[in-house]
Amino acid sequence: MATAAYPTRRGFFTRPRSTTGKWSWFFTVDHKKIGIMYCVTAFIFFIVGGLEALAIRSQLAQPNGEILNAEVYNQFFTMHGLTMIFLVVMPMGVGLMNYLVPLLIGARDVAFPRLNAFSYWVFLFGGIFLYSSFFLGGAPDGGWFGYAPLNETLPGHGMTFYALGLQILGVASLAGAVNFIITIINMRAPGMTLLRMPVFVWMTLVTAFLLLFAMPIIAVALFELMFDRAFQATFFDPTQGGDPLLWQHLFWLFGHPEVYIMILPAMGIVSDVLPTFSGKPIFGYNAIVFAGAAIGFMGWGVWAHHMFTTGLGPVANSAFALSTMFIAVPTGVKIFNWIGTMWGGSLRFTTPMLFSIGFIAMFIIGGLSGVTHSIAPHDAQQQDTYYVVAHFHYVLFGGAIFGLFSGFYYWWPKAFGKLLSEKLGKVHFWLMFLGFNLTFGPFHVLGLNGMPRRIYTYVEGMGWDFMNLLSTIGAFVIALSALVFIANVVITRRRGEEAGADPWDARTLEWSTTSPPPEYNFEEIPIVRHRDDFWHRKYIETPEGEPARVLAGGAVATHEHEAGHGIHMPSPSYFPIVAATGLPLLGYGVIYFNSTGKALLVLGALVTMMGLFGWVLEPGAEERV
């Protein structure tokens, strides 16, 4: 293994060699390190977005609040939404995919390790770019879906940052999508047929296809917005014949698949956690996989349920109402699969299990309020009220975030070799669960009582005071629960319980290697003979149908010192981060399109080109020390 802390440079196109030390993080192409970087970065954004939410909730705690003025309030709720969607839920999902997909399919890395590093850096720089707007005259303030024509009439650079920031983040998503599709199609271990893949891998595949086809659509909408705001085009300007509804169509044609991009990874996590802690294989594997794929297809045919009140006409409204109700069917199938998995199992209520069960419960509530939205006349009453806010927090927070935390607790010992404390974990879960329902449950009532979404204050006497106060208290309980999680991480890093390779008596391949896994993941590429192959190495079925432990089955190869000989892993590389650096420069160049801006555009293009040239020309691998 390499020991040098600094990369040794021996010419322009050589590759860095060290795989340890702090510099190695900048140039790494190891999917596990990249996965960790994704999750850590997304968690930091989770805290930032959470602080924005606390500010919003403090402002609304009482009527006539005076903590935020209208302008700042608009920036805060917009950035809160953008952060949670593009900088938290999506990248946390991608982080887990990065860490896990190669391990789950028995591969040594993803198909394109450098492209993977590039995705991460583009994501990070895109996030920083978006947040830099706060210091450059004001953040985006037109809502996360940035409706036209407001998105072009809002003064300042805020919405231009929106157009370019999301564009940059889209590049990261697209690169990631291509990478995961090819990895899953092409890098599976021998015997790992498609229908033996863990459900999480399947959901990753569906998510990646959704990203692949949804990102270009939002890219077009954002480019059109950019040309309107920066280069005098008039795409969305109604006074020039532009059609604001075009924005809504393009946005939601991306936007609805996007909600599945956020939820499917969490569904995958839950589908792998539940069997482990129920001591049973997933109930109805084929059904759950096909339901996921069906959601992936049907997700393209429901976008106009976000536009029921725009006057599309009764035929279109009915059609989209029906398709939206239909998409609840495969979603329901999955819920039955999860319940069936737990049914009659020997359940172990560990922290990851609690988060998974919490996911199911909260997601059912969010899914049901979603179905009420699908009834078009009903939705006309609900649209733009807190009821909708309740709905999407139940699916996004109660759903996606709970699922992701389940994944963090579950795979933490694999990634870091130590178990998180179960005691603190349970405190975390219960606080978060209570805080969550305290915060978002009242939104249903508020919405049905007519409280509109996106108002920065309200007067007393509307009957909204009590529920708002409750909700704000809940928000602080959630914040407390996040602190408990951080404390758990800090404490167990110092004195956590050693995990060993397989602390949960789990079923899938990642548990068959050491914790944390070596750089090359598996000493020998496993040969897969069953779904849940690792389980079948550990247990055989007795004639009574009971599992019986195989002696030494599933033992983990640990000849540490001589391990890894003759396995060639791709060397680290300088160029992904270089190529990614150019993109925010291009973004600033468009925003300040004067002489400095033009210089930045040239500089950004040159840096990216340099990065790509180096990328193509550097050698495939360097000898390791």
Partner 1 sequence: MSTHEVASAPVAEHHTSTGLDNTKLAMWAFLGSECLFFGSFITTYLLYRNRVLDGPTPHEIYDIPFTSVSSFILLMSSLTMVLALAAIQRGDHKTMRVWLACTALLGMAFIGGQVYEFTTFVEEGLKISTSVFGSSFFVLTGFHGAHVTVGIFMLLALVGMSMSGRLGDRHEGARKVELIGLYWHFVDIVWIVIFTVIYLIPTN
CB of 499 to partner 1, least distance (A): 21
Residue count, binding to Cu ion (CB under 5 A): 1
Quick one: which H or E segment has residue 549? strand 547-549
Which residue among 25, 26, 145, 227 contacts partner 1 (CB under 8 A)? 227
Comparison of 157 and 256: residue with beta carbon closer to Cu ion: 256
The answer to whether 82 contacts ligand HEM (rule: CB under 6 A) is no
DSSP assignment, residue 547?
A: E
Whether a cis peptide bond, with omega within 30° of 0, leads into 377 is: no
- Determine the Cα–Cα distance for residues 29 and 137; give it in Å rounded to an integer: 36
Which residue among 235, 456, 458, 539 contacts partner 1 (CB under 8 A)? 235
- Rounded to a whole number, what is the distance in angstroms from the first to the last CA of the chain? 7
Comparison of 124 and 388: residue with beta carbon closer to ligand HEM: 388
The answer to whether 78 contacts ligand HEM (rule: CB under 6 A) is no
Stretch that binds partner 1, among 46-54, 186-194, 332-340, 384-392 (CB under 8 A): 186-194
- Determine the Cα–Cα distance for residues 11 and 1; give it in Å rounded to an integer: 22
Q: Which does 537 bind (CB under 5 to 8 A by kind): Cu ion, ligand HEM, partner 1, none?
A: partner 1
Stretch that binds ligand HEM, among 190-198, 335-343, 365-373, 589-597 (CB under 6 A): 365-373
**Is there a contact between 159 and 74 (Cβ–Cβ < 8 Å)?**
no
- Determine the Cα–Cα distance for residues 300 and 316; give it in Å rounded to an integer: 15
Residue number closest to Cu ion, CB atom: 256
| Contacts for 71-76: CB closer than 8 Å, 24+ residues apart | 71/138, 71/141, 73/456, 74/141, 74/142, 74/454, 74/456, 75/134, 75/138, 75/139, 75/140, 75/141, 75/158, 76/52
The answer to whether 249 contacts Cu ion (rule: CB under 5 A) is no
The answer to whether 201 contacts ligand HEM (rule: CB under 6 A) is no
Which residues make beta-bridge pairs with 539? 549
Residue count, binding to ligand HEM (CB under 6 A): 24
Which residue among 256, 373, 393, 536 contacts Cu ion (CB under 5 A)? 256
The answer to whether 289 contacts ligand HEM (rule: CB under 6 A) is no
Stretch that binds partner 1, among 67-75, 77-85, 241-249, 287-295 (CB under 8 A): 241-249
Mask of contacts with ligand HEM, 248-287, x by CB under 6 A? Answer: -----------x--xx------------------------
The answer to whether 521 contacts ligand HEM (rule: CB under 6 A) is no
Two tokens, residue 155: 């003064």
Stretch that binds ligand HEM, among 133-141, 363-371, 414-422, 515-523 (CB under 6 A): 363-371
Comparison of 94 and 253: residue with beta carbon closer to Cu ion: 253
**Exposure string over 438-475, b if 16+ CB within 10 A, otherwise e:** bbbbbbbbbbeeebebeebbbeeeeebeebbebbbebb
The answer to whether 326 contacts ligand HEM (rule: CB under 6 A) is no
Q: Which does 30 bind (CB under 5 to 8 A by kind): Cu ion, partner 1, ligand HEM, none?
A: none
CB of 31 to partner 1, least distance (A): 11
The answer to whether 551 contacts partner 1 (rule: CB under 8 A) is no
Two tokens, residue 343: 């049914």
- Determine the Cα–Cα distance for residues 44 and 22; give it in Å rounded to an integer: 19
The answer to whether 316 contacts ligand HEM (rule: CB under 6 A) is no
Residue 492, CA atoms < 13 Å, CB-side half-sphere = 23
CA-based nearest residue to 187, from 538, 407, 411, 509: 509
- Determine the Cα–Cα distance for residues 338 and 343; give it in Å rounded to an integer: 9
Which residue among 68, 396, 432, 590 contacts ligand HEM (CB under 6 A)? 396
63 CB-contact burial (10 Å; exposed 0-12 / middle 13-18 / buried 19+): middle
* Residues 88, 93, 97: CA angle, nearest 5 degrees: 145
The answer to whether 223 contacts partner 1 (rule: CB under 8 A) is yes
Q: In angstroms, what is the C-alpha Rg of the chain?
A: 25
By the criterion CB under 8 A, which residues form the site for partner 1?
108-109, 111-113, 174, 177-179, 181-182, 185-190, 192, 212-213, 215-217, 219-221, 223-224, 227-228, 231-235, 237, 240-243, 246, 250, 523-527, 537, 553, 555, 557, 566-570, 613, 616-617, 620-621
